[in-house]
Structure 1
Amino acid sequence: MKGSMTWTYVVHLLGLTACALGVPQKQAYRVKETVDPPTGWVQYSPAPADHIIDLRIGLPQDKFELLEQALYEVSDPHHHRYGQHLSKEEVDELVAPHPKSMNAVDEWLASHGIDMNSLSRSSAKDWVMVKVPVNLAEKMLDTTYHVWKHVESGVSLVRTTTYSLPEHVHDHVDLVTPTTYFGPLKGMSTTFHWSDAQPAALSSNAPPIKSASGTAVDASCNSTITISCLQQLYNITGYNSSAINGNKIGITGYLEQYANIQDLQSFYQEQRPDALGSSFNYTSVNGGQNSQNLSEAGAEANLDVQFAFGLTHPTPAYFYSTGGQPPYDPDLKTTTDTNEPYAEWLDYILSHPNPPQTISTSYGDDEQTVPQSYAVRTCAGFAQLGARGVSLLVSSGDGGVGDNDANATTTICKTNDGRNATRFIPTYPATCPYVTSVGGTVSIPEVAVYFSGGGFSNYFPTPLYQLGAVTEYLGHLPLNSYSGLFNRFGRGFPDVSAQGDYFRVWIGGKPAHIGGTSASSPAFAGVVSLLNDARLSKGLPPLGFLNPMLYTKGVKGLTDITEGNNPGCGTEGFNATTGWDPITGLGTPNFGLLKEIVLS
């Protein structure tokens, strides 16, 4: 008995001494997140112990439900708060973590010897960022990191398939990255070919074609889309925007896609001569670059800036180049091996007091490759932008309902949750309910382009603003149609659509044709920016989050697309039909009608 008491005393004394010295105590851990190794990735080797990871820790946003409520109220044209967008400070206050969560996380980090001065925090303090070596991250998260290689692309990443947190920290952390995110972020340009056509070929002597909305469109627009084509097709001709009313438009760039200014001048000379000599404001986010070497001009970036800025000139234009996806190389000890750039870009744009009122992004992942915790968290960041009066448009994807193959005998549309079940593959962030997802059309009159991404989210439920439209569509769909292939209760996408093929751009000093919903999103964004221009010139606030308006009074300003389908996963996909559908959404814009609606 005496010996036992002495031993207990010694253990207790040692524990106190360890605490005094700051030595982390053995804590009870519980798994926070775990995934099956995703298809196409193989474990290559243990991650080097001294490899530096930019660890990001997401704390629960204490009053997000109030932020969401405010978002819908200020975005609903029938609500008395419509247009009364929140300030940066008001949004930060609603998403700031509870002090208990901040204290719990700070104490956990300190217990591992991390100096509080080495931390950085997001504007609302809901993200904590710290650089740590792999061996420390493994202790903190009770896990083992490996170098993983993607068989097809050869890209390597440092990742783990599971991580844990101490019991007392569990409820104070939403997620930690980089951990289980293997998503191959990609641009949405599905077709690309060089064109030797000279400027004279951009117009036709043939009789004009009448669009579905009744506007007359040059016959050449059936084979080559230009700024003039979009102006004619979407009833923009004759509208002049302002350079001084405070309106701005932004384009996001990822994956070392560089927007070339010389190419932009060639594009302007050919298609928007009054813009010749103007350019855009470039911002580097997380080390993003924008090389002006013509050989490094990015097809995606050039497409986005040329058409979005060409449609809206002289509106001040902004291009954000976000770094974050170089291949892992242990010899270089890279500290930015993560391909999770949405959070990086959100950190920057949410810290800015006056972001552009309209922003377009043409990048995305297969939803299932994005951990649900990360998708939910970054989607919440997009909600913050909407509440502050930003209209965020995103491409719906270029795989139809999955792989764009209607005749596949061995489809790649498989779940990566261990079941390997055949299922349609939605695209993130197009499935986020707080963005406006843009699908693609082609030809005049317009029909759905075959590659237009569309379907239903497996992460996010159908939002209230589109419940009626989605319910009506599903009500006309045979009950057993594609049974088990999609989630009938998920957020439907896209919301709207625009032309998505045969866009004539300049890349590397030469003209080319590009197709993809990466063309549709900046095209629709250009129309939205012009609507914001009209409102600001009348002393009205910007539109902000568009969807509650589009699914109500705004639908009368859209041209319904009723033909076409988006094949994939061994099926014909979904059909375009009267009303909303998961390939062209509510339809394409008629600027003249929309302008009347948003100014009324």
Structure 2
Amino acid sequence: MIAAYRKLFALLLLVGHAWAIPSPGASSPYADLKVKESLRQAPSGWTLVGEPPADHIISLRIGLPQSNFETLKEHLFQISDPDHERYGQHLSKEEVEEFVKPPSHSLDKVNAWLKAHGFAEVDLERSPAKDWVSIKVPVKLAEEMLGTTYNMWKHDESGDTLVRTTSYSLPSSLHAHIDVIQPTTMFSRFNPLSTTFHWPDAASRSATYKAPTRASDARLAAVDPSCSSTITIKCLQQLYNTGGYVPQVPEKNSVGITGYLEQFANLNDLKLFYQDQVPNAVNSSYEFVSVKGGLNNQTTNSAGAEANLDVQFAFGLTFPTPATFWSTAGRPPFLPDLTTPSNTNEPYGDWVDFVLAQEKVPYVISTSYGEPEQTVPEAYARRVCDSFAQLGARGVSLLFSSGDGGVGDGSSSASHRCKTNDGRNATRFLPTFPAGCPYVTAVGGTTEVPEVSVDFSGGGFSDYFPRPAYQDDSVNAFLKTVPSGLYKDLYNPAGRGFPDVAAQGTSFRIFYRGRSASIGGTSASSPAFAGIVTLLNDARLAQGKSPLGFLNPAIYAKGYAGLNDITGGYSNVGCGTKGFNATAGWDPITGLGTPDFLKLKTILADNLD
């Protein structure tokens, strides 16, 4: 059907006619359009540059209501609560889908609306639970269906161009049956969170330094002195006390890394890394999985620093555990003459839809990508977050980097980047998404030996998601230490606090395009912590127990005793402020701390059924 629209449009262009397509008509029940979602203005930093061709293809994703998500959430917290009798009794794929399938009347109404606009079932792509439906549609038809006008917008700093609108509408009769449609009002720029760092002397840092409040753990005396300047697999094993643990039942276990935006993990670089740091793993590999046409370019110059970092350390720590790397096609820049279908979605949505459709999913998955929360429309952020909850209910531990901008833009000087995009243009800290989703484990960064907080570690409080009960006590204890009035109106103290945990985030020795390189960021911290969680799963699976699944309730209730509390270091500057300091207990820069594997093994594997 859509191919026919495009052929018709091309023909009309040749003969000089205007665009003409079938429409439901003025008397149709779909003619009563009311605004569903809108922005007061385009976010700061985006400039309108023109109109897209009328036959430019948009891939619209339509989210239908999930019939019983609240009940699914109850199940998730029960099976993740170490004190509940159902702990570890994860749900099957089919059980999860039953909870999130849309009500039948919602499905009927949306189907009728799509049919009225010329779509047949063959034109629709549905999620397994049918709570999402995707269609490829020419811009002009999308504008008619949504009562809107799409424009081309250019990001001033990067030059990226997107096709977006600042408002869209739906027939009044459909508002209760459609939660969200994207891409419409989403101006987010989906970016990896890694950076190569060249450290200045501590005295020249813009961040403030707070000395730790307790003596260093005596075991750190055994850590190789070189780990103060270069982090290797051996360093992480020493720092996080793996005690020479060797996976006992790797064939029962699994770990995965997500890759986006043409970040390719290079097999030759992985071999060089293994030769350097994990000799037993030389010539081993991982399963490559393409999502939405994601590529696997193995040319030397196509190797991605982010992908190499994630794969080398997560898989190096867990060898010989079976590993998966997903390559999800990115969001390509818009080209004015592009009329063929292109991926205009956020890759998170594409990836999670794909993985939820699989019968088997790795038990631990690390993602080192994120963006300011406010750049993702709240309705869409909530639906993606709810999808992560579905994976948690199935026994998957999802870890996300907390971000590399401190409490905002990583700058101690006032910046336009730390302004709200709601029309007020007010200064505001910038929480990170998806790290602020309450159904994932956010990982902040540390540095040096003994470990202290690092100044770029993303942390703060979500403006979209309220604080979950599992972290109430820990976060409230921290908030009592914050001076009255400090950063008033810059953050939401009732929001979900992040990160939850932390790991080293500087000077990781990777191999990149045939040579060794030093790289850092919380994108190093997440795969490092994921490696430790994978080893904990191995210890549980070897005892006939289930994998850990959604980590946070167990970490806040019991696991904190197996973490190294980071009580000092550099504040996480941003938005013209010094940000927050690490302190005893939870804090919005290192969470509850870094892992001690042997202690965590005792708490979460040996003594927890």
Pairwise same-fold verdict (TM > 0.5): yes
What is the correspondence of 1:574-585 to structure 2 with a 5 Å cutoff? Answer: 574-585=580-591
Moved more, 378-387 or 47-56: 47-56
Residue 321 (structure 2) aligned to one of 293, 315, 318: 315
Map of 2:32 onto structure 1: 28
Counterpart CA distance in 2 for 1:299 and 1:47 is 33
Q: How far apart, in 2, do the equivalents of 1:90 and 1:429 lie?
A: 25
After TM superposition, the score normalised by the length of structure 1 is 0.92
Using the alignment, how far apart are the partners of 1:517 and 1:422 within structure 2?
A: 24
Q: SS of 2:511's equivalent? A: strand
Residue from 61, 66, 73 that aligns with 1:61 = 66
Deviation, structure 1 residue 21: 11
Matched, 1:493 2:492: no
Alignment of 1:382-393 (within 5 A): 382-393=388-399
Identify if the C-alpha distance between structure 1 residues 371 and 26 changes in structure 2 by more than 3 Å, giving closer, same or farther: closer
Q: Please give the alpha-carbon distance, in whole angstroms, between the structure 2 residues aligned to 1:441 and 1:307.
A: 16
Work out whether 1:146 is the aligned partner of 2:146. no
TM-score (norm. length: structure 2): 0.91
Q: Deviations over 1:165-220 (max 9, x none)?
A: 001111100000110111011111122579xxxxxxxxxxxxxxx96372421000
**TM alignment of 1:84-483, pairs within 5 A:** 84-192=89-197, 212=217, 214-215=219-220, 216-242=222-248, 244-406=250-412, 408-483=413-488
Any conservation in 2 of the 1:284–1:320 contact (CA below 8 Å)?
A: yes
Cα separation, 1, equivalents of 2:305 and 2:216: 28
SS of the residue corresponding to residue 57 of structure 1 reads strand
Measured in 2, the distance between the counterparts of 1:23 and 1:390 equals 49
| Distance change >3 Å, CA 128–CA 219, structure 1 → 2 | same
Q: Shift of the alpha carbon at 1:523? A: 0.1
Segments of structure 2 that go 5 or more residues without pairing to the other structure are: 1-21, 200-214
Return the alpha-carbon distance in structure 2 between the equivalents of residues 412 and 129 of structure 1. 33
Are the aligned partners of 2:398 and 2:440 in contact in 1 as well (CA < 8 Å)?
yes
- Which runs of 5 or more structure 1 residues have no equivalent in the other structure? 1-17, 195-209
Q: CA RMSD in A?
A: 1.7
Residues 40-49 or 274-283, more deviating:
40-49
Q: How far 1:466 moved relative to its partner? A: 0.2
SS in 1 for 2:331: coil
Q: CA deviation at 1:151?
A: 1.2
Rounded Cα–Cα distance in structure 2 between residues aligned with 1:221 and 1:572: 28
CA contact (8 A) 1:452 1:566 kept: yes
Residue aligning to 1:199: none
Query: Secondary structure in 2 aligned to 1:331?
Result: coil
Following TM superposition, by how much is the alpha carbon of 1:120 offset from its aligned partner in structure 2, in angstroms? 1.1
Provide the rounded CA distance (Å) in 2 between the counterparts of 1:25 and 1:410: 47
Distance 2:23 2:581 in 1: 64
8 A contact 1:324–1:336 mirrored in 2: no
Q: CA deviation at 1:26?
A: 5.6
> 1:25: how far off?
5.9
How far residue 237 of structure 1 moved from its aligned partner, in angstroms, is 3.3
Deviation >3 Å, runs of 4+:
18-26, 210-213, 242-245
Report Cα offsets for 1:264-302 as digits up to 9, x if no partner. Answer: 000000000000000110000011112000101000000
8 Å CA contact 1:19–1:25 kept in 2: the answer is: no
Q: How many residues are treated as equivalent by the alignment?
A: 567
For 1:343 and 1:57, how far apart are their aligned partners in 2? Answer: 11
1-structure distance, mates of 2:50, 2:303: 34
The 1-side partners of 2:358 and 2:602 are apart by: 31
1:519 maps onto 2:527 in alignment: no
Per the alignment, in what secondary structure is the counterpart of residue 505 of structure 1? strand
For 2:195 and 2:566, how far apart are their aligned partners in 1? 21
In structure 1, what is the Cα distance between the partners aligned to 2:286 and 2:471?
Answer: 35
2:270 maps to a residue whose letter is L
Q: Give how far 1:338 is off.
A: 1.9
Structure-2 separation of matches of 1:224 and 1:380: 38
Provide closer, same or farther for how the CA distance between residues 465 and 212 of structure 1 changes in structure 2, counting only shifts above 3 A: same
**3-state SS of the aligned residue for 1:143?**
coil
Distance 2:113 2:355 in 1: 29
1:577 and 1:157 mapped to 2: Cα distance?
Answer: 42
SS in 1 for 2:478: helix
- Decide whether aligned partners of structure 1 residues 479 and 21 sit closer, same or farther in structure 2, where only a CA change above 3 A counts: closer
Q: CA deviation at 1:339?
A: 4.7
In structure 2, how many angstroms separate the alpha carbons of the residues matched to 1:410 and 1:166?
40
Partner secondary structure for residue 85 of structure 2: coil
Paired letter, 1:590: D
Tell me the CA shift for residue 574 of structure 1.
0.5
What is the rounded CA distance, in whole Å, between the counterparts of 1:19 and 1:278 in structure 2? 57
Contact 1:393 1:437 in 2 (8 A): yes
SS of alignment partner, residue 417 of structure 2: coil
The alignment partner of 1:412 has SS state of helix
Change (3 A) 1:410 1:546: closer
Superimposed CA distance per residue, residues 509-546 of structure 1 (whole angstroms, 9 cap, x where no aligned partner): 01100010000000000000000011111100000000
- 2:415 and 2:544 map into 1 onto residues whose CA distance is 57
Change (3 A) 1:211 1:238: farther
* CA separation of 1:22 and 1:112: change in aligned 2, threshold 3 A: farther
1:331 deviates by 2.0
Q: 1:68–1:476: structure 2 CA closer, same or farther, 3 Å change rule?
A: same
Q: 2-side partners of 1:237 and 1:333: how far apart?
A: 57
In the TM superposition, what whole-angstrom CA distance separates every residue of 1:313-353 from its partner, at most 9, and x where no partner exists?
A: 00000001111311111323242242511110011110111
Alignment partners' CA distance in 1, 2:179 and 2:140: 22
Identity, in percent, stands at: 60
Shift of 1:45: 0.9
Q: Residue 379 of structure 1 aligns to a residue in which SS?
A: helix
CA contact (8 A) 1:263 1:508 kept: yes
